[in-house]
Amino acid sequence: MTISSSTNNEQPSELKLWGGRFTGATDPLMDLYNASLPYDKKMYAADLEGTKVYTEGLEKLGLLTKHELSEIHRGLAEIKEEWSNDEFVAKPGDEDIHTANERRLGEIIGRQIAGKVHTGRSRNDQVATDMRIYTRTELQKLAAILKTFIEVIVKRAKNEIDFLMPGYTHLQRAQPIRWSHWLSMYATYFTEDYKRLLQVIERTNVSPLGAGALAGHPYGIDREYLAENLGFNGVIGNSLAAVSDRDFVVESMFWSSLFMNHISRFSEDLIIYSTGEFGFIQLADAYSTGSSLMPQKKNPDSLELLRGKSGRVFGSLAGFMMSLKSIPSTYNKDMQEDKEPLFDSLVTVEHSILIATGVISTLKANSAKMAAALSMDMLATDLADYLVRKGVPFRETHHISGECVRAAEENKLSGIDQLSLSQFQTIDERFEKDVFETFDFEKSVERRTATGGTAKSAVLKQLDNLLSQLS
């Protein structure tokens, strides 16, 4: 075989998957600009598995002999072991994982047989297949650790069901709630994330393999066979869409962004609750750092990083959406920009879930500080509800309760519970001696027994319902 000469250490063009048309050398910078192996090597296992099953499909068509198929599978297994043991040696011209694996396959079993693995296949459907296999695997991993994270939150909520704390709106103390109710709120957010994630996995798990470059397979390969043996739920029914669809990448990154939004809010609450002004929680040393100057400091760096990394994930989604928005139909090289932001987002989310799980499972909740932060003005709505139960319209009772709050402030009392019965009756004669039973934080939360409320029975029901959704 004649090998054409090349300059700039260029790999002979006939060794490139696309090189037959070209005779001149490419700019070395262009080679670097075009290369994706430094990051798409993450997909080596997906690429090898796709080739393994694809060549089985070729053998079914009679385009490979059983001996050739056996040799190909032997070579693929050897390559996988090299990657697994960090022994794979990349060479100049290995512009991506597909080129590298096929080049190495030729070295192991000979180029005559290795050259047949690409029959009827394009890098367009090959990379789309690899991306879907890799993304599916990573999302399934995220689902497993996210489920554990939620279970840890639920377990903590059940163990600390009796802790009462202020609930806040506008960062102002509003009404008493259970600490477990707060935990259940975020467990609810994260459970919705979990359910959404399963839906994204389902939409990701369809096969583009066998679509060719864009127009379909010229030898009538059994695409359903390929899909089934690669663990896909079905095939993408249009060859043009099969090679160009990156909605699963966008959805994965959107899911990551929404999840990180929830993690960021979760982190912000815990940062606030860990301050000296609140003191509701104390982070474990493993998830805190000190100050280089002030020895008394214990900084919630784990939570701040969780909050900060949400911006990184949001940016990856926005950047890729801008790359994707004006691409004409079928495959274009712009789509190579899908990998780095997706890979980074998935790794960031994985690490974030693991850190958040560590934080919530090891922090100390200070029930005494939580209880001390409760104040009687937080029972003003309960005071209004007291009169509602006596038949007074709520709009009227709301106004009456506000007058009671003002009276306590004007008399410099520590709370509305310090008003005397005569003072209550001066404001409204329908107040009776049993009004003082209103001023009990435990009774306040226990009155809210409706689904989703903060009574103990309601919170436990929420937590059990979340666990049932995970199963």
Let me know: does 428 contact 390? Beta carbons within 8 Å. Answer: no
262 is catalytic: no
Let me know: does 201 contact 232? Beta carbons within 8 Å. Answer: no
Query: Which structure tokens are listed for 286?
Result: 């493993």
Marked catalytic residue, from 5, 67, 170, 292: 170
In whole angstroms, what is the distance from residue 157 CA to residue 153 CA? Answer: 6
Other beta carbons less than 10 A from residue 101's beta carbon? 26
Marked catalytic residue, from 6, 13, 288, 291: 291
217 is catalytic: no
Query: Which structure tokens are listed for 201?
Result: 């996995």
In whole angstroms, what is the distance from residue 412 CA to residue 199 CA? Answer: 57
**Residue 299, strand partner residues:** 289
Instruction: Annotate 314-326 with b (16+ C-beta within 10 A) or e (fewer).
Output: bebbeebeebbee
In whole angstroms, what is the distance from residue 283 CA to residue 281 CA? Answer: 7
- Write 400-404 long-range contacts (CB < 8 A, 24+): 400/427, 400/428, 403/427, 403/428, 404/380
The SS3 call for residue 342 is helix
The residues annotated with a catalytic role in the active site are 170, 291
